[in-house]
A and B are shown apart, each in its own frame.
Chain A
């Protein structure tokens, strides 16, 4: 079963990370799922692949009533992001899934109907979670051509999907980045190869630099907090991406 760690709380406003499954087979990439809850409602961010649904569901249940989930947010269309959709819809057929308009007709191959999807336009949109305004921030081509991150201005938390992701060695189970220089080595190859556009990267760095961010939460690896957030943005800005060897 995965572990849950609440890393932000202000009364009924919480951010919970669902991380590190010791029973996960090695052939599955490790993923982080995040729950934002506000006044009893929850939004699950990048709910994960079908194979890890039992682990995510059980971990979530330990922290939050899954029946109080009011939506799913998929940063993009990859299987490790949203192939569990059919299972979440088995649990609650009315659960909406927020996703880039670009993928609204692709993701139904994993499950769901036309009513399931709330298509996010390219410029992004506000998502209201029972009174909490969350902002879908464009991150197109980082890495998917239709890609969004989710910003919570009140908590100063940015869910950054694959941006900031690090493929950490086994047994690296810290929730937060402890040593930026050591950590970023595990992120470099991933970003060089997965992130497809230097222009898109520069635009994203400029966009998020204007946001007030205390924690930057990627879908793989550890969370950047405090000064490491700016360190990461500067590092990413200077990295040449879209590079394949061979």
Chain B
């Protein structure tokens, strides 16, 4: 059997789309882990607010920052929810592209084996146009995902600043400074975890494609 170059191209694109699906799944898993951390920050911040109340006037600043960290965790959760929405749309689009590619591959083989049929050629052309549109949609989702991630990164920077400030405030907590210091250290640690996850997300080859 002769090799049809168009089949080769189609199969190579198919494997790219298949890899995209795997990459999106990994991104989604990372997002889920960040959402879990956001939930943890919320609980930690709630405990920190109670601790600050017990510490009284010496931990007023710490209390304000804990409250801000709680708001941060909610903002983060909501931003990650937005990311999940874009991910869902990207999965849909990748699946459609995979279907386009499978149909194109089989139609190409039919065209090759039948020696050429005008209606198959027309169906191929139409399906290829549709695939180009779907790939363009996928690129748009990729850009949107990248943009939302940049916004999340800025939000996480703010979280990092809040955690560092909480550390400083903890030092003024007098009798509670050890306890406050431990809590603020934990804040710093979990924000660092999120930053690490975001770095991983940004490294995904899904974003390296144009």
Contacts and interface: CB of A to CB of B under 8 A. Distances in A.
A75 B127 CA distance: 29
Interface in B92-130: 102-103, 106-107, 109-110, 112-115, 117, 119-120, 123, 126-127
B119 A92 contact: yes
A57 interface: yes
Interface string B125-154: 011000000000000000000000000000
A57 B1 CA distance: 17
B103 A58 contact: no
Sort chain B's interface into a size bin: 10 to 19
Sort chain A's interface into a size bin: 10 to 19
A211 interface: no
Nearest to B105: A54
Given A1-B113, A23-B1, A57 B120 contact: yes
**Chain B contact residues, majority secondary structure:** helix
Given A50-B106, A54-B106, A91 B120 contact: yes
A166 B132 CA distance: 44
A51 B55 CA distance: 71
A58 B103 CA distance: 16
Nearest to A61: B114
Contacts of B103: 86-87, 90
B74 to A, nearest CB: 40
B110 A54 contact: yes
Interface in B71-89: none
Contacts of A86: 103
Contacts of A54: 106, 109-110, 112-114
Interface string A83-113: 0001100111000000000000000000000
A61 B119 CA distance: 12
A53 interface: yes
28 contacts: A23-B1, A51-B106, A53-B106, A53-B109, A54-B106, A54-B109, A54-B112, A54-B113, A54-B114, A57-B110, A57-B113, A57-B117, A58-B110, A58-B113, A58-B114, A58-B115, A61-B114, A61-B115, A62-B114, A86-B103, A87-B103, A87-B106, A87-B107, A90-B126, A91-B107, A91-B120, A91-B123, A92-B119
Interface of B: 1, 102-103, 106-107, 109-110, 112-115, 117, 119-120, 123, 126-127
